[in-house]
Amino acid sequence: MRATVRRRVSLLAVVGAVVMSTAAVFIASQPASAATVPTWPTKTGDVKISATVSVKAGKVYDGGMKRFCCVGSGSQSETQPAVFDLADGATLKNVIIGSPAGDGVHCEGRCTIQNVWWEDVGEDAATFKDTSGGDSYVIGGGAKSASDKVFQHNGNGTVHISNFYAKTIGKLYRACGNCSKSYQRKVIVNNVILDSAKYVVGINTNWGDQATLRNVTLINGKKTHVCAEYKGAPKGTEPTYLQDGWGDGNCHVSKSDVTYQ
């Protein structure tokens, strides 16, 4: 190779390396995984209900993306009926819940709530009451306008929440801080997008609750508490907020698990 050709080749190599490294820096500066807000589903029809719809143990209730409406008053009263009541091992899927939405979905035992969308959360969106220490799942779906809690964990065991979207909510999840029975409760949150949430999860450290959070995207979330720790209290009294936990014995989450968008 002639000297000038060699110089040109090495110059090209240098330019190439600079372009590559610039690209690498550009890619590295992007959020780890830019999350996309899911499109709210369109109803395929309406189902008018005037009382709780029960799903028997182990059965799957597929709503076919119909909009189920309505029970209760839309207030924060705990005495409203549930929209759906799931017996142990039941699955509720492909449902849009209209408003008023009463006390939401009740899981009497282990349950799976898949691709369920709350247009306007009632007292809460779902309550997990299993006391067998089992696992319950929320997979996909979304919820809007919860004055307080979306998922309320009153039993024990583990609630898994994944691929969920919520907008304008108090807490995505709360391990009951003042139920008639106290338990250690666990929650695993993965891949959620929350727009205008006051809290992601609230847990009680005095009962040994465990929260594990990964891939949390917060929109309008500069002030959002990610993992709030409380001292749970007896029924009829209010739990005390202690602090936000980051990578301690109860809140298994680090700042890198949260993306602000």
The least CB distance from residue 227 to ligand ADA, in Å, is: 18
Q: What is the DSSP letter of 205?
A: G
Instruction: Select 1 or 78, whichever has its Cβ closest to ligand ADA.
Output: 78
Rounded CA-CA distance 226/206 in Å is: 18
Instruction: Select 67 or 149, whichever has its Cβ closest to ligand ADA.
Output: 149
User: Tokens 């050709």 label which residue?
Assistant: 5
Residues 6+ apart with CB under 8 A from 231: 204, 205, 206, 239, 240, 242
The least CB distance from residue 181 to ligand ADA, in Å, is: 11
Rounded CA-CA distance 161/192 in Å is: 8
Beta carbons of 146 and 172 less than 8 angstroms apart: no
Instruction: Select 154 or 217, whichever has its Cβ closest to ligand ADA.
Output: 154
Task: With CA atoms as reference, report the closest residue to 113 among 80, 148, 151.
Answer: 151
> In the complex, which residues of this chain contact ligand ADA (CB under 6 A)?
78, 123-124, 127, 152, 154, 176, 178-179
Give the binding range for Ca ion (CB under 5 A) out of 4-12, 40-48, 123-131, 178-186: 123-131
Instruction: Select 44 or 76, whichever has its Cβ closest to ligand ADA.
Output: 76
Site residues for Ca ion, window 135-164 (CB under 5 A)?
Answer: none
Show the site string, 83-122: x = touches Ca ion by CB under 5 A, - = not.
--------------------x-------------------
Task: With CA atoms as reference, report the closest residue to 166 among 93, 216, 129.
Answer: 216
**Residues near Ca ion, by CB under 5 A:** 103, 123-124
